[in-house]
Every structure is written in structure tokens, then in C-alpha cells.
Amino acid sequence: MQWIKLAHLTLFELWQNRTFKTLLTVALLTPLLAVGLSSLFLYDIGKVYVDVVAAMAQLLAVVFFIFLVVTLLSRDIFDRIVYVFLTPPMSRRDYYIGRFLGIVAVFVLLLLVLLLSSVLGAWLYLDGLSDMYQSGYKWNYLGQLVFFNFFQYISILGFIFFVVSWSSGNAETMLFTLAMLIFSWIFPPVLAALQSPDVMKDTPEFVVYFLQWIYDVIPHLRGADITLSIAHGGSIGYQDTFLYVAEHILYSVIFFALGLAVFKRRDL
């Protein structure tokens, strides 16, 4: 159970990082930004408020994983800080699990700060407005946003652990992680568009099946559709929620397990 100790240390390490403190400050100030932007609109104030929080949740997560997590793991392996950790009885498996769970804990902390500050901001700002201006805002929208955002980036975290296990440096790890993020943002909507009835009617049947198959198999790491749906009052059923969570946990576990298998065999 050495990984628990490393997870605990990782929590401290990221907590004391200046970039993380900046992200926490931004999370705390997000309601102010949301209030400022939503007050520019006559109606739909509630929708804009939730939209701004959703955008900030994405932004904070991207900065957290690209600049903090990738840098932390790259420094560990390529600046050889890992030598300090890989002293018996700490195994490579313990190191990987400990780091992963420590990062997850810090990410949860960041999202909780964002959630609490946003809920508080909404309570102070939107509660005093009439239903017309609130445009259907409900307090649980923000909770759902943070929940879906969390699972989306858990898959990305698994992917980062996979890349770090074989990459040769910080730049390479960052490049592949960014490529994965961009791929997951761009590719699924393009494939979805290709399957629209208008496009499909002129497409050969085997191509349609092929596109459908790719669409089903590739990671749907983009949470923008869901957050947009929530912000606009769309309800997400239990089955969809379960599938979304299961998909992201599965991708995270697969990438993590592959990464660990490679990491156990690599020269450090």
C-alpha cells in the first residue's frame, strides 16, 4: 500500500505549485467573470452564467493537465526525480498508482472549488432575478457540469500516463497529449456530421458502416456537447450518464494499464 503515501505526497506537491494556486484563484474568480459576461445579456442570463462556468471548467482542466500534470510526470522521469521514489519497498506499479490517484485528488479539489464558488455566485446573483432572466437555471446544472467534466479528463489522465511511459521528453509528452485533446475535440463531431441523413444518402453503404464503427470505437472525450446541453436545460438520463462514465473510466483504465506495462519494462 505504498501508493497511498505517494498519492498523499503528490497532493502536497501540486498544492504547493504556484501554477495550481493560480488555477485555484481563477476558479474562485470564475463567478465574477460569469456575472460580468451574463449581465451583458437582457435575457438568458442563467444560460450564459452556466456557459461561462462550463467554458472555465474546460479551460482550467486543460491548463491543469497540460502544464501541471505533464510537467510533473516529465520532470519525474526525464529529470530523474523518480529515482528518489523508486526505492524499495516502492515499486514501479506503486509509483504509477500513487501519482495517478494523487493527481485525481488534486483535480477533484480544483473542480470542487470551481463548483462551490459558482454555486455561491449563482445563489447570490441569479436567485434575486425573475424566472424569465434566470432562463430555466437550476442549481444542479453546475454540479452536472463538474461531474461530466471530471470523467472526461480522467480518460485524458490515463492517456498522459500512457504517453509518459514511452516518450522521450517533456515536449514529446505535451505534443501527444495536445494532439489527443485536439483529436477528441475535432474528430467525433466530423464523423457525426458525416452520418447525417443528407450526407449519408449519397454515401456507399459500406462507408456508412465503416464510419459508424469508427465513431463507436474512438474515445468520445469531448464533453462540450453535454455541457452545452446542460446549460440549455437539456436533461441527461441515467442510462446515458452511466454509459458516459463507464466509457471514460474504461478508456482511462486501458491507457493506464498499457502505460504501466510499458513503464515496468523501460530503462530509467
In the complex with another protein, the residue whose CB is nearer, 17 or 241, is: 17
Q: CB nearer to another protein: give 89 or 197.
A: 89
Least Å from the CB of residue 39 to another protein: 38
Within 13 Å and on the Cβ side, how many CA atoms surround 187? 16
- Which positions touch another protein (CB under 8 A)? 2, 5-6, 8-9, 12-14, 16-17, 75, 79-81, 83-84, 86-90, 265, 267-268
Residue 124: exposure state from Cβ atoms within 10 A (0-12, 13-18, ≥19): exposed
Which position has the grid cell 500516463? 161
Nearest CB to another protein, comparing residues 24 and 86 = 86
- Closer CB to another protein, residue 253 or residue 261? 261
Q: Residue 184 carries which side chain, given as an amino acid letter?
A: S
Q: Are 41 and 22 in contact (CB under 8 A)?
A: no
Query: Could you identify the residue written with the cell 432572466?
Result: 133
The dihedral sign for the CA sequence 98, 103, 109, 115: negative
Q: In whole angstroms, how close is the CB of 18 to another protein at the nearest point?
A: 8
Kindly state the smallest distance separating residue 252's Cβ from another protein, in Å.
24
The nearest distance, CB 240 to another protein, in angstroms, is 39
Number of helices (H), then strands (E), belonging to the chain: the values are: 13, 0
Q: What are phi and psi of 86, to 5 degrees?
A: -85, 50
Cα–Cα nearest to 265, from 93, 144, 105: 93
Residue 265 Cβ, how far from another protein at the closest point, in Å? 7
Nearer to another protein, 86 or 194 (CB): 86
Smallest distance, Å, CB 113 to another protein? 19
User: Look-up: residue for cell 444542479?
Assistant: 140
Q: Which is nearer to another protein, 100 or 244 (CB)?
A: 100
